[in-house]
Amino acid sequence: MNDSLGRLEDLPADYLLELKARNTLPLWPSLRAVLPYGRPSRSTRPAHWRYRDIRPQLLRAGELTPIEKAERRVLVLCNPGLGLESMRATATIYVGLQLILPGETAPNHRHTPSAVRFVVEGEGGFTVVDGEKLPMGRGDLILTPPGLWHEHGHEGRGPVIWLDALDLPLVYGIEASYAIEGRPQAVDKPIGWGGARFRHGGVVPYRSLDAPREPYPLLRFPWQDVQRALGELAAVTPRDEAVQLAYVNPETGRECLATLGFSALQLRPGEELRLPRRSASAVLHVVEGSGTALVDGTTQRFETADTLAVPTHADVLLANASGTASTYLFVVDDAPLQRKLGIYEVLSSSAR
């Protein structure tokens, strides 16, 4: 390995000024920084956001800022290693906790970034996506694919809070992020429209075989279905294997969105699970239960509704704190993006 590349200081000052005047830079002093040997350099830290600490601040936002002054009343979970202003949980993943109070509406808009909601607490919330009204129950995953109109409302009592995950850092980073505001949508599909046609594993509407593929046939994935499916998988999965299910587009069997991937992971009672080291970054959200996460040597004790950041190439060891109940995690990662770029890797889970 050549560790003796020339440094900036090795070059004459007048030469550097000439380069600067021409908007140019020598590569070699920075080559190792942008192409480090063996593994990427990462600023993302194994961060932990405790719901118990953030929830009161979110409710306070509900008192301080009327929805009209916020449009989206969100506290963004910012990875301290990436700078709080950059609004990133990992290099590619934005996550926030959004609060909506009874009777409020978060107005209709659409934008280039992809978004999903994962419901944390409360009853009576809903999102309208592309003319379909999607009820929000705890643990439900709702997709807001790029370019589709979406607005939120709340017909129940008490606060409704959900986790937003967006590929905003990515789309903003490539200078392609923008939104369009719209008038309230006309709901033009019956309740349960996507689910009735596409939610049942292995069967789809017969006529869809002749029609062009719908890019986003299913927008809502109820938690009770996912939890039941995990339970069935757990019963046939050896103790040392992960009980993990990917949310997919039922027409293609592939990831729901182009950039971000979603999965649900069950830690059985007493289970300790080492995740394979992967090139993708991830955000883990605790649906239910408690435990510890050892991420690149940093130990976090997590509880229900907490959220954790996992950098690219990280070592992850998860342990369920309970010997009698399962712990459930919702996982967002950027593996779909990395697969499309041809750079996705599952590395060995042994220490480096």
CB of 187 to ligand GTQ, least distance (A): 17
Do 120 and 165 contact (CB within 8 A), yes or no? no
Q: Which residues, other chains included, contact 102 with Cβ-Cβ below 8 Å and sequence gap of 6+?
A: 124, 154, 155, 156, 157, 158
Indicate the residue whose CB is closest to ligand GTQ.
Answer: 164
Q: How far is the CB of 72 from ligand GTQ (least distance, A)?
A: 4
Q: From 92, 110, 13, select the one nearest 260 (Cα to Cα).
A: 92
| Minimum gap (Å) between residue 170 Cβ and ligand GTQ | 14
Q: Which is nearer to ligand GTQ, 151 or 333 (CB)?
A: 151
Select 112 or 304, whichever has its Cβ closest to ligand GTQ: 112
Please state the closest distance from residue 82 (CB atom) to ligand GTQ, in A.
17
Comparison of 110 and 138: residue with beta carbon closer to ligand GTQ: 110
- Contacts for 138-141 with beta carbons within 8 Å, 24 or more apart? 138/223, 139/222, 139/223, 139/224, 139/226, 139/227, 139/287, 139/288, 139/330, 140/220, 140/221, 140/222, 140/223, 141/116, 141/117, 141/220, 141/221, 141/223, 141/226, 141/247, 141/262, 141/330
Q: Find the shortest distance in angstroms from Cβ 66 to ligand GTQ.
A: 16
Give the interface with ligand GTQ as residue ranges (CB under 6 A): 72, 74, 96, 98, 106, 111, 115, 150, 164, 166
Q: Is 229 helix (H, G, I), strand (E, B) or coil?
A: helix
Our CB check for ligand GTQ shows the closer of 72 and 199 to be 72
Among 262, 252, 257, smallest CA distance to 226 is for 262
Nearer to ligand GTQ, 106 or 161 (CB): 106
Of 87 and 282, which has the nearer Cβ to ligand GTQ? 87
Supply the minimum distance, in Å, between the C-beta of residue 159 and ligand GTQ. 16
